[in-house]
Every structure is written in structure tokens, then in C-alpha cells.
């Protein structure tokens, strides 16, 4: 007799893991999101005996991930998590915005069951396709005792949903654990070896995310750099931007040309958060900065969620 809590739901959103190219030796000239998630599962013999459900929620190149898809994904994941027979969720996703989707889902859902995002750096048609092993490893993490929270599994590494960052444009091991984190664990021959605690937190709730794109606040990211000019910030201000994240140089510094438009935004009630554009480290000595330890992309999501809470 089957256990009540054992079903694993695999939700497909597209990405390179479902991509196809005209040649098995072409790892970059492919089109993402061509294969169904059901076909990805069917191509892995080791998964055929598992109690799986495959569901296609989207077929996107993840560079084109959008707010309505995020809202639909969060709601659908929560619906499956609420089913007592579901052990956990696997989401197949593109690598370009994997870290953003993982961050959002952990903050919104903070699930007590595992939600595992996985992806690939090579299309499904490649000689060295990495998607099948990543998907197999993701299922292994869902089945691990005590697993919970949103994590990502890529190249045998298990990464915290609030910390992972894409750090390489081409290699199969394209993700890292962020500047001050570390791997949650590794998957070795189908067995999870865990190093840290699972993600935990307070769920904001999937209902916070509007399915209507027009109801999301407009939050942008601007990098400070040599020769920066005020015009971009001034134009955003005029156009009605509702929040800005600054990807600052070094330890949270910004070009002097940006000082006046930043102050004008703040005087108008538009939040402007600082983070660093550096790959390692955080802004030190600025406890008032809410984004001091976040990547610019995570900070943008965090500010977006804060603005949504104000109108919810």
C-alpha cells in the first residue's frame, strides 16, 4: 500500500533544460522551452518507477520571466503543497533568472515541504546534456528526510533559495552560494549529503502577488559606474518609477552625479535601496540599508514585495 505523503509534482516552466538545437554539438544556438516537462521526465529511466505528476505551467526562455507567470507559479505550487499526499515539488526552469524565482518563492511561500528548482546549461539535444542528471538529483532532494524550503539543485550542488547566484555564463557548474553562504549540500549518486539547515522563514503568501502585470509596482535596478549620468534616474522619476535599487560600487558608494536625482526620488517618497555590484561581500557599516547583504536582483524582489505589502 502506498504512503499518503509520497507524490512528487514536477512543474515545467521552459528554459534551457527543455531547449532544442539543430545539432547535438550546438550548446549555444538552441531555442529554450521546446520540450514538455512530461517528455523530460519520460527520458530518464530511473524516474519511471517514481510516483510523479508532470504539469506544464509555462514554456518560457527564463530571460523573459514575467510577473504574471511568477504569480501563477506561486499559487500553483501552494495548491500542490496543500495536498496531503504531495511530498514536494520540482520546478524545471531556465538558468538566467533562476535565482530570482527561487528568492521570490522562498519569501512568498517559505514552505514546510521541499520546493526544488532545477535547470540546465546545455539544451536537451546536446551531447553533454546536464538536464537529466539535474532533474534526477532534484527528485532525490525532494525525497530526502526532513527536506523543506525552496532550494536549487544544479551540477550536484544544493543551494539555498535566498542565496544562490548565477556566476558563470557557460560552465555546467554555473551557480554559487553567494558571498557569505555556502552549499546546503551535495547530491552524490542519488544520496543527499547536507551541510546546513534547510531554508526557513515567514510566508508572505502567494495571494500577495497580483496576476495582473499592471498591479505590480515598477522597481528598477541602476548600476553606479565611472562616467555615470543623472539622466536615467531623472527619466525614471518623471515616468513614475516606484522604487529603485542601486547596484553600488565597492562598499555601497555611488557616483556624485547620481546624488541629486537620488535625493529627489527620496524626497518624493520613492524608496531607493543600496546594494553592491561586487560579486563577493556586502555593504559593511550601513545597518540602515535593507539590501546591504542582497544581490541587486534579490534586492529588487525584496523591495517589490515591500511595496506590494503596502497595497495588499
pLDDT of 14 above 90: yes
Co-location of 231 and 177 in the same domain = no
Domain of 284, CATH number, reads 3.40.50.40
Name which residue leads in pLDDT, 181 or 123. Answer: 123
pLDDT of 3 above 60: no
Percentage of the chain surpassing pLDDT 70?
Answer: 98
**Residue 267 domain flag:** yes
Co-location of 120 and 189 in the same domain = yes
Domain of 182, CATH number, reads 3.40.50.1170
Co-location of 157 and 275 in the same domain = no
Burial class (CB within 10 angstroms; exposed 0-12, middle 13-18, buried 19+) of 306:
middle
Band of pLDDT at residue 108, cut at 50, 70 and 90: very high
Co-location of 254 and 188 in the same domain = no
Give this prediction's pTM: 0.96
Spatial distance between the Cα atoms of 101 and 298, rounded to a whole number of angstroms? 9
**In the prediction, which pLDDT does 2 show?**
45
Co-location of 110 and 79 in the same domain = yes
Co-location of 232 and 176 in the same domain = no
**Residue 199 domain flag:** no
Cβ 102 vs Cβ 115: under 8 Å: no
pLDDT of 150 above 70: yes
Average pLDDT value for residue range 34-59? 97
Domain tally, the chain: 2
Average pLDDT value for residue range 45-59? 96
**Residue 204 domain flag:** no
Average pLDDT value for residue range 225-252? 97
**In the prediction, which pLDDT does 181 show?**
80
Co-location of 188 and 225 in the same domain = no
pLDDT of 75 above 60: yes
Co-location of 71 and 112 in the same domain = yes
**In the prediction, which pLDDT does 1 show?**
35
Q: Per residue in 287-302, pLDDT tens?
A: 889 999 999 999 999 9
**Residue 33 domain flag:** yes
**In the prediction, which pLDDT does 5 show?**
60
**In the prediction, which pLDDT does 280 show?**
87
Q: Per residue in 258-311, pLDDT tens?
A: 999 999 999 999 999 999 999 888 999 988 899 999 999 999 999 999 999 999
Last residue of a domain, one of 194, 209, 225: 194
Q: Per residue in 112-138, pLDDT tens?
A: 999 999 999 999 999 999 999 999 999
Is 101 an active-site residue? Answer: no
Q: Which of 13, 16, 95, 101 is catalytic?
A: 16
Co-location of 282 and 150 in the same domain = no
Burial 56-85, CB ≥16 within 10 A → b, else e: bbbbbbbeebebbbbbbbbbbbbebbeeee
pLDDT of 32 above 50: yes
Spatial distance between the Cα atoms of 18 and 68, rounded to a whole number of angstroms? 21
Residue in the block written with cell 531607493: 272
Co-location of 182 and 231 in the same domain = no
Co-location of 274 and 172 in the same domain = no
**Residue 207 domain flag:** no
**Residue 203 domain flag:** no
**In the prediction, which pLDDT does 312 show?**
81
Band of pLDDT at residue 23, cut at 50, 70 and 90: very high
**Residue 210 domain flag:** no
DSSP string, 14-26: ESGGG-B-SSTT-
Q: What are the Cα distances from residue 307, in Å, to 60, 151, 174, 176, 304?
A: 26, 25, 31, 29, 5
pLDDT of 248 above 90: yes
Last residue of a domain, one of 163, 194, 225: 194
Band of pLDDT at residue 28, cut at 50, 70 and 90: very high
Cβ 134 vs Cβ 17: under 8 Å: yes
**In the prediction, which pLDDT does 37 show?**
98
Co-location of 162 and 261 in the same domain = no
Closest to 96 (Cα-Cα) out of 72, 124, 138, 61: 61
Residue 299: domain span: 217-311
Spatial distance between the Cα atoms of 254 and 252, rounded to a whole number of angstroms? 7
**Residue 298 domain flag:** yes
As a whole number, the mean pLDDT across the chain is 95
Q: Are strands 157-160 and 149-154 parallel, antiparallel or unpaired?
A: antiparallel
Q: Per residue in 169-180, pLDDT tens?
A: 999 999 999 777
Of the listed ranges 67-71, 105-109, 225-229, 289-293, the least confidently predicted one is 289-293
Spatial distance between the Cα atoms of 62 and 72, rounded to a whole number of angstroms? 15
Spatial distance between the Cα atoms of 233 and 264, rounded to a whole number of angstroms? 10
Amino acid at each position: 500500500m502506498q504512503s499518503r505523503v509520497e507524490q512528487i509534482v514536477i512543474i515545467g516552466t521552459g528554459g534551457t533544460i527543455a531547449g532544442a538545437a539543430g545539432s547535438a554539438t550546438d550548446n549555444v544556438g538552441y531555442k529554450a522551452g521546446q520540450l514538455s516537462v512530461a517528455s523530460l521526465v519520460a527520458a530518464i529511466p530511473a524516474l519511471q518507477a517514481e510516483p510523479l505528476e508532470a504539469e506544464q505551467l509555462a514554456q518560457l526562455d527564463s530571460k523573459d520571466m514575467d510577473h504574471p507567470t511568477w504569480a501563477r507559479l506561486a499559487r500553483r505550487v501552494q495548491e500542490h503543497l496543500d495536498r496531503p499526499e504531495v511530498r514536494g515539488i520540482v520546478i524545471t526552469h531556465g538558468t538566467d533568472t533562476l535565482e530570482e524565482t527561487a528568492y521570490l518563492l522562498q519569501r512568498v511561500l517559505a514552505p514546510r515541504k521541499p520546493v526544488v528548482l532545477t535547470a540546465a546549461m546545455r539544451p536537451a539535444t546536446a551531447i553533454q546534456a546536464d538536464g537529466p542528471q539535474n532533474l534526477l538529483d532534484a527528485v532525490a532532494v525532494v525525497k530526502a528526510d526532513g527536506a523543506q524550503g525552496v532550494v536549487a539543485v544544479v551540477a550536484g550542488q544544493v543551494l539555498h533559495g535566498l542565496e544562490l547566484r548565477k556566476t558563470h555564463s557557460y560552465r555546467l557548474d554555473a551557480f554559487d552560494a553567494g558571498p557569505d553562504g555556502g552549499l546546503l549540500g551535495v547530491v552524490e549518486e542519488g544520496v543527499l549529503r547536507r551541510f546546513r539547515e534547510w531554508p526557513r522563514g515567514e510566508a508572505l503568501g502567494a495571494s500577495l502577488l497580483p496576476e495582473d502585470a499592471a498591479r505590480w509596482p515598477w522597481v528598477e535596478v541602476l548600476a553606479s559606474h565611472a562616467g555615470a549620468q543623472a539622466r536615467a534616474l531623472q527619466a525614471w522619476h518623471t515616468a513614475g518609477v516606484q522604487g529603485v535599487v542601486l547596484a553600488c560600487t565597492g562598499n555601497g558608494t555611488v557616483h556624485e552625479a547620481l546624488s541629486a536625482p537620488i535625493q529627489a526620488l527620496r524626497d518624493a517618497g520613492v524608496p531607493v535601496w543600496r546594494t553592491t555590484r561586487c560579486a563577493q561581500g556586502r555593504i559593511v557599516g550601513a545597518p540602515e540599508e535593507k539590501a546591504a547583504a542582497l544581490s541587486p536582483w534579490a534586492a529588487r524582489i525584496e523591495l517589490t514585495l515591500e511595496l506590494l505589502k503596502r497595497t495588499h
